[in-house]
Chain A
Amino acid sequence: MSRPRDPLCWAFAALLLLAFGMPALKPLFAALFPALDRPLYEQDSFVALLLAHAAIVLASSALSLIAGLAAGVFVTRPAGREFRPLVETLVAVGQTVPPVAVLAIAVPLIGFGALPALIALALYGLLPILRAAVAGLESVPQAVLDAADGVGMNAAQRLWRIELPLAVPVLLAGVRSSVIINIGTAAVASTVGAKTLGSPIIVGLSGFNTAYVIQGALVVGLLAVVTDLGFERLGRRFERVPNDAGLR
């Protein structure tokens, strides 16, 4: 993070600058949109919105990760193998439902506020993680599993020492797409009453205030970029098996 050429570093700095410095841009938006009475979204500070947004994404993604990984491990164990087709069908069907529809379904069931948004996001984020967990666990070569059994690892040792570490790169890719999707979907969650970076966008859209929409979208977009770059960094760290010299 210290290297000046690091894109993650730059993107993170830009995000902070924009979140803290949005009030300073008021004259700019006033000049760009002279027709608007209030060219800057001021109901909440962008820093507060950013933190709330990050919190809801973090909480929902954590829920998705725990549930998705647990389900992924379960359906790849001998005991859970017969549930695998069922789970895979659910995953496939779930992926075809757009995030907005998930929110729309959540509201009549749970009501307005942060809770339905959290649940909807966690459910929607579950799918890529579950799929990646299964794919990651399945990607462990049979020879490695045979060797793990042959040297005398029990089921838990095999899972924790061999299968999960080897599944991490694939799993991480699933978490990455899940979190990125959730960052976007969390903005939509403002429609059901959660306070997020989507709030200026929703208010702007309903009040024909393009400046609000741009302000919200800019920060959400930067948050997504920073997160994506962060995952890329994390992914490189987990790719700790060197591949430079010699091949099988």
Chain B
Amino acid sequence: MIELREVSKAYGGILAIDGLSLAIGRGELVALIGASGSGKSTLLKMINRLVEHDRGMVLFQGEQVRSFRPEDLRRRMGYAIQSIGLFPHWNVARNIATVPMLLGWTAARIAARVDELLALLGLDPAVYRERYPQQLSGGQQQRVGVARALAADPEVLLMDEPFGALDPVNRLALQQELARIHRASGKTIVLVTHDIDEALRLATRVVLLHHGRIVQDGTPMQLLAEPANDGVSDFIGRGDLGLRLLGQHTVAERVRIGEAADGEAIAATLSLREALSVFVARHTDRLPVIDGVGRALGAIHFADLLRNNG
């Protein structure tokens, strides 16, 4: 879907991207992660030509991005940024309708799409359609920002630290929305982030950048279990490595079916990391587990957290 071949980009003689190659397939949710100045944002912006690459090739659907008009290219790629950038003189509906209007959709089709997206992102259309950006909280604004990016059903969604400015509660909620949208739509998503937990939680594939080069490219599990070098280990954070490994598994994988235990049940969809937190908070070593519709599934023991992954 998106391919970069030996791409370089320099700012004032300093290489921001250094001979980088990367292929992103349809339906992947790729997190580009790295410290400030690692080139992750530049890389993202080269895909929709907000930044032009100096050398190499950037391909979209097998064609060089330079063969598209920038506007046409961008209308086929949703784009959400940390600062959101909602248009303050337009209400929520018009903001979301930006790209459909540029594409000349009919008013009825646009109105239907706006309501659909508002509902998808957990905002009641009747309440929020007519609101202006200034009347929304930060989390609501970013939901509208994501809705705007999704409006014309783009083939690719590019997100530049979209949840970076949100408080932890809203960030988590929106990450879950994004994961849900990704699962439901199968859209190709490229997400820039400096938050390792966000990358591990959301991505099907994590690309770690350093000084414009790829240091490691793999699944979240590979990144945690087989870090390419000390730099990767440092970036992941040695102290929290165990917790992050636990975060990659769910209770459902370790549950002892049919076994009973006392206390308030936890959901099977919880990550083991969250389960650990519950174990510690309740001073217990056994927890009952329920499935998605609330039926008793079994129990999980504290020791089960350590099974299989040392």
Contact = CB atoms under 8 A, between A and B. Distances in A.
Interface in B68-88: 70-75, 79, 81, 83-88
B87 A147 contact: yes
Contacts of A154: 71
B75 A150 contact: no
Interface stretch (B118-126, B129-137, B233-241): B129-137
A245 B135 contact: yes
B89 interface: yes
A150 B89 contact: no
B148 interface: yes
A152 B99 contact: yes
Contact of A165 (B75, B79, B89): B89
A95 interface: no
Interface stretch (A10-18, A56-64, A138-146): A138-146
Contacts of A242: 132, 134-135
B138 interface: yes
A143 B89 contact: no
B82 to A, nearest CB: 9
A147 B84 contact: yes
B270 interface: no
A248 interface: yes
B134 A151 contact: no
B35 interface: no
B81 A247 contact: no
A238 to B, nearest CB: 9
A76 B87 CA distance: 19
Contacts of B134: 241-243, 246-248
Interface string A149-191: 1111110010000100110000000000000000000000000
B117 to A, nearest CB: 14
Contacts of A142: 83
A56 B296 CA distance: 85
Contacts of A240: 89
A150 B81 contact: yes
A143 B138 CA distance: 14
A71 B300 CA distance: 72
B56 to A, nearest CB: 22
Size class of A's contact patch? 20 to 34
Contacts of B269: none
B75 A151 contact: yes
A198 B56 CA distance: 70
Nearest to A245: B135
B8 interface: no
A35 B199 CA distance: 91
A150 B156 CA distance: 13
A192 to B, nearest CB: 42
Contacts of B83: 141-143, 146
Given A152-B99, A247-B134, A248-B134, A147 B81 contact: yes
A151 B81 contact: no
A150 B149 CA distance: 9
A232 B149 CA distance: 37
B74 A241 contact: no
Interface string A194-211: 000000000000000000
B288 to A, nearest CB: 42
Given A149-B50, A165-B89, A248-B138, A143 B71 contact: no
Contacts of A245: 135
A176 to B, nearest CB: 20
Nearest to B74: A152
Choose among A152, A153, A244, A248 the residue with the greatest number of B CB atoms under 10 Å from its CB: A152
Interface string B81-124: 10111111100000000110010000000000000000000000
Contact of B99 (A145, A151, A248): A151
Contacts of A246: 134-137
Nearest to A147: B85
Contact of B74 (A144, A145, A151, A247): A151
Given A143-B85, A242-B132, A150 B98 contact: no
A143 to B, nearest CB: 4
A143 B88 CA distance: 11
B271 interface: no
A154 to B, nearest CB: 5
Contact of B86 (A145, A147, A153, A244): A147
Choose among A151, A153, A240, A243 the residue with the greatest number of B CB atoms under 10 Å from its CB: A151
A151 B88 contact: no
Contacts of B137: 246
B188 interface: no
Interface string A64-97: 0000000000000000000000000000000000
Nearest to A149: B50
5 contacts: A148-B87, A150-B50, A150-B79, A151-B75, A151-B102
Interface of B: 48, 50, 70-75, 79, 81, 83-89, 98-99, 102, 132, 134-138, 141, 145, 148-149
Q: Which 7 A-B pairs have the closest CB atoms?
A: A147-B85, A152-B74, A143-B83, A150-B79, A152-B75, A143-B85, A152-B71
